[in-house]
Structure formats: C-alpha cells, structure tokens
C-alpha cells in the first residue's frame, strides 16, 4: 500500500515535472489530428492544388513515436537525479519502508505517463469523430502501442536507476540493455566469420532464419524505438508489456535488497562490478577486432584491434564502475 504522506511528498517535490509531462503527453495526439486537419484546410483554400483529402495515417509513425522520451526524463528525475544529488539518502531516512518508497515513485510516474496518454487518446478520438477524416490508418494500434512502449521504457529506466548510483550510470545501463541482445549475438558471429571464415548462417541455418525474422527485433527494447512494430500484429505489444513488467520486478527487488551505502558508485550492488567489467571488456575486444579487420583486411589488424579494445574496455570500466561520482 502506498502511504498518502509519501505520495504527497513525491508529488510536491516533482510537481512541475509531472504537470509539464502530463500536458505534453495529453496534447500530443490531439495536436497531430488538428495539424493534419489544418493542412487539409490549407489545401482546400489553395485553388492551385487539387485532390485534397483529409486522412490520418499513423502507419509510419510521427512525433508521437518519441513519447517514450518523456518516460526517460521522468525516470531519470525520480531515481538517477536523486541518487546524484544525494537526496535519496534523506528519503530513505524517513519512516517508510524501501518497498513503499519504490512503489510510490514507480506508480506515481507510471500514472502520469499512462493516464496522460490515455486522455490524449480519448481527446484525439473525439476530434476524429467531429472532424471526420476520409481515412484513418492504425490510430488505435499506434496510440495504445505508445502507451505500452512508454511504460516499458519507464520501467527499464527505473530498474536501471535502482541498480546504479548516479544519472550517467542509469542511462548507460539502460542503453546497454536495449542493445545487449544484438551485441551478444552479432559480435561473436562476426568474429567467428573473421577468425574461422565460418558463416554462422551456414553452420546454423535455423539460427540464421531466426535472426532474419522481425520477432528477434521485438525481443529487444530498442526494436520499439523504430516504427516497424506499427505494421506488425497486435500481439507484438504483449512482448513489450511483458518486458515492462519484468523491468518493474527487477527495479523493485533491486531497490528493496541492494544497499545504498555505495551511493555514487556505478552499481550499488558490489557483486555486479566484476562480471560487468568482464562483459564490457569482452564486447570491446570483439567490437574493435571486427572494426580493425574491416579497415585493414588482415589478421594483423584484427589482433591489433583486439589489443586496443582490451585496453579501452579496461579504462572505460575502471573510470566508470570503480570510480565514485561525487554528489551534485
């Protein structure tokens, strides 16, 4: 249960953030409908132009496709900014449990994101019924989809914020998760081809077919940044909804169990430092090896790239994971 006192405290502390975010999300969808209608009216008033038609197409996306950016901003302000400024310590000293604090933060921000977009969806539906466009394409699918995707992005950033000690770590962790499946599959496959002249597709035909399907794209959060999901079946959104729920659970457990004493460190949980460092170095080695080979087309260049990648990976992890960031 969310305590009313804590809910009021969080609302007052981030009141302008919530209000501005809510207004932006509410207005975005109706504004698109009105903007298309204004363009149609301008066409009618221009006697030179012919074949004017008022249509609404969401098939290729629009500025609304970036509604998830608002989710990122809210999550960063609720978690990463407080970690960086050190105000999270004061909040944790209040007579509330860690679980209550996370639930209040998470669901207050989620309510602003989901309810605001739902109101905008309703307002846009009302405008469409009043203005009566001749054709409307993918309006419901796109509008509902952006609510689900925005929630997924918000849950991902909140989980990253619960794992890390400052804004940069939160953003970098979230971004890494969005592209990690591509790195874990694509880089090893590219290195196998360079070293052994082995095409993964030739060795594992099923694997190649799976990679080529759109389904693999939608199993990664970054796949929803682009507009391809709009032209897919509705069940694709269940995947993003499930990922959002998983990120929520990760964030909740992390906030509940991990210590806050490492505030300012990249990861609050010390046991993550070494495995992540090894993973980053491995990705850096594989990535620089392939890049160097593509430039030099020689094994000497590949080996040089591997060495450079190892050094760069070590330096990156040393100055991010093992160096504490001071409070703002």
pLDDT band at 204 (very low <50, low <70, confident <90, very high): very low
Q: Answer yes or no: are the C-beta atoms of 52 and 38 closer than 8 Å.
A: no
Residue that terminates a domain, selected from 262, 294, 310: 262
Question: Within this chain, do residues 191 and 281 fall inside the same structural domain, yes or no?
Answer: no
pLDDT band at 205 (very low <50, low <70, confident <90, very high): very low
Out of 118-122, 275-279, 285-289, 296-300, pick the least confident.
296-300
Question: Within this chain, do residues 180 and 244 fall inside the same structural domain, yes or no?
Answer: yes
pLDDT band at 199 (very low <50, low <70, confident <90, very high): low
Question: Within this chain, do residues 258 and 279 fall inside the same structural domain, yes or no?
Answer: no
Closest CA to 128 of 143, 113, 148, 114: 143
Residue that terminates a domain, selected from 240, 262, 284: 262
Question: Within this chain, do residues 197 and 250 fall inside the same structural domain, yes or no?
Answer: yes
Q: Answer yes or no: are the C-beta atoms of 10 and 109 closer than 8 Å.
A: no
Question: Within this chain, do residues 30 and 160 fall inside the same structural domain, yes or no?
Answer: yes
Mean pLDDT of the 263-282 span: 86
Report whether pLDDT(233) > 70.
yes
* Average pLDDT value for the chain: 85
Report whether pLDDT(328) > 90.
no
Question: Within this chain, do residues 152 and 115 fall inside the same structural domain, yes or no?
Answer: yes
Report whether pLDDT(73) > 60.
yes
Mean pLDDT of the 256-262 span: 76
Higher per-residue confidence, 12 vs 191: 12
Mean pLDDT of the 197-226 span: 63
Mean pLDDT of the 174-192 span: 82
**For 116-166, what is each residue's pLDDT tens digit?**
999 999 999 999 999 888 888 888 889 999 999 999 999 999 999 999 888
Report whether pLDDT(303) > 50.
yes
In percent, how much of the chain has pLDDT > 90? 36
Q: Answer yes or no: are the C-beta atoms of 105 and 187 closer than 8 Å.
A: no
Domain residues for the domain of 62 are: 4-262
Mean pLDDT of the 271-292 span: 88
E strand intervals along the chain = 55-57, 135-137
**In the chain, how many domains are there?**
2
Question: Within this chain, do residues 90 and 129 fall inside the same structural domain, yes or no?
Answer: yes
Predicted local confidence at residue 181, as pLDDT:
78
Q: Which two tokens stand for residue 312?
A: 């760069």
Out of 178-192, 194-208, 300-314, pick the least confident.
194-208
Question: Within this chain, do residues 242 and 284 fall inside the same structural domain, yes or no?
Answer: no
Residue 276: HSE in the Cβ half-sphere, 13 Å Cα cutoff? 22
Question: Within this chain, do residues 195 and 67 fall inside the same structural domain, yes or no?
Answer: yes
Predicted local confidence at residue 25, as pLDDT:
94
Length of the chain: 328
Predicted local confidence at residue 198, as pLDDT:
62
Query: Cα separations (Å) of 13 from 7, 10, 17, 74?
Result: 10, 5, 9, 12
Predicted local confidence at residue 174, as pLDDT:
93
Per the DSSP assignment, residues forming a β-bridge with 263 are 265
Predicted local confidence at residue 57, as pLDDT:
84
Residue that terminates a domain, selected from 205, 228, 262: 262
Question: Within this chain, do residues 166 and 285 fall inside the same structural domain, yes or no?
Answer: no
Predicted local confidence at residue 134, as pLDDT:
84
Closest CA to 61 of 30, 34, 29: 29
Question: Within this chain, do residues 203 and 275 fall inside the same structural domain, yes or no?
Answer: no
Question: Within this chain, do residues 62 and 34 fall inside the same structural domain, yes or no?
Answer: yes
In percent, how much of the chain has pLDDT > 70? 90
């Amino acid at each position: 249960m969310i305590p009313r006192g804590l809910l009021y405290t969080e609302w007052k502390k981030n009141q302008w953030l919530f209000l501005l975010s809510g207004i932006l999300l509410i207005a975005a969808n109706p504004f698109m409908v009105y903007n298309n209608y204004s363009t149609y009216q301008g066409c009618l008033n221009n006697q030179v132009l012919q074949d004017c038609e008022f249509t609404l197409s969401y098939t290729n996306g629009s500025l609304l496709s970036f509604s998830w950016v608002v989710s990122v901003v809210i999550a960063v302000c609720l978690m990463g900014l407080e970690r960086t400024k050190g105000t999270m310590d004061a909040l944790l000293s209040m007579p509330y449990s860690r679980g209550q604090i996370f639930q209040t933060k998470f669901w207050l921000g989620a309510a602003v994101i989901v309810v605001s977009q739902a109101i905008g969806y309703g307002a846009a539906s009302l405008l469409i019924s009043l203005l009566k466009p001749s054709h409307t394409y993918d309006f419901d699918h796109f509008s509902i989809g952006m609510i689900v995707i925005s929630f997924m992005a918000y849950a991902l950033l909140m989980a990253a914020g619960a794992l890390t000690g400052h804004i940069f770590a939160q953003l970098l962790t979230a971004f890494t998760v969005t592209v990690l499946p591509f790195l874990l599959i694509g880089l090893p496959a590219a290195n196998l081809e360079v070293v052994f002249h082995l095409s993964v597709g030739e060795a594992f035909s099923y694997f190649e077919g799976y990679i080529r399907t759109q389904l693999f794209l939608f199993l990664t959060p970054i796949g929803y940044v682009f507009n391809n999901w709009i032209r897919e079946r509705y069940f694709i959104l269940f995947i993003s909804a499930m990922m959002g729920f998983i990120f929520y659970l990760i964030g909740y457990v992390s906030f509940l169990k991990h210590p806050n004493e490492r505030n300012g460190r990249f990861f609050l949980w010390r046991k993550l430092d070494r495995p992540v460092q090894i993973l980053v170095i491995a990705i850096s080695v594989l990535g620089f090896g392939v890049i160097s080979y593509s430039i030099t087309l020689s094994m000497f260049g590949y080996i040089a790239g591997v060495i450079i990648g190892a050094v760069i990976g070590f330096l990156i992890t040393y100055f991010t994971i093992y160096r504490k960031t001071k409070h703002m």
